[in-house]
Amino acid sequence: RSFTSQTDGEARVAQVLREKFPGASAIKVVDISGGCGAMYEIHIESEEFRDKRPVQQHRMVNQALSEEIKTMHGLRIFTSTPKP
């Protein structure tokens, strides 16, 4: 999979998520603020989310990105578990 023209912010957020969720089978970070880094959409698929409610899954992502979130205006989080 290629990351064509990924912004520095997208790469940084994706790197933090890869470190915090090493077992993630898919991580996608998209800057939805037009490239200024104010708002991101995150899709993350990880076995770590299994048997957790969506609010718990989102809390895990928010906690992982606690430092990065300080400079953001918004964050859309989509979590899932791998299909068997």
Q: Residue 79 corresponds to which tokens in the numbers above?
A: 């979590």
Query: Across residues 15-30, what is the average pLDDT?
Result: 96
CATH superfamily to which 8-80 belongs: BolA-like (3.30.300.90)
Which residue in 65, 60, 64 sits closest to 50, CA to CA?
60
Per residue in 23-77, pLDDT tens? 999 999 999 998 788 999 999 999 999 999 999 999 999 999 999 999 899 999 9
**pLDDT score, position 4:** 57
**Domain segments of the chain as ranges:** 8-80
CA–CA gap between residue 40 and residue 8 (Å, rounded): 12
Q: Is pLDDT of 5 > 90?
A: no
User: Quick check: helix, strand or coil at residue 32?
Assistant: coil
Cα–Cα distances in angstroms (integers) from residue 69 to residues 12, 13, 15, 36, 52, in the given order: 12, 10, 14, 14, 22
Which residue in 29, 36, 34 sits closest to 11, CA to CA?
29
Q: What is the DSSP letter of 71?
A: T
pTM here is 0.87
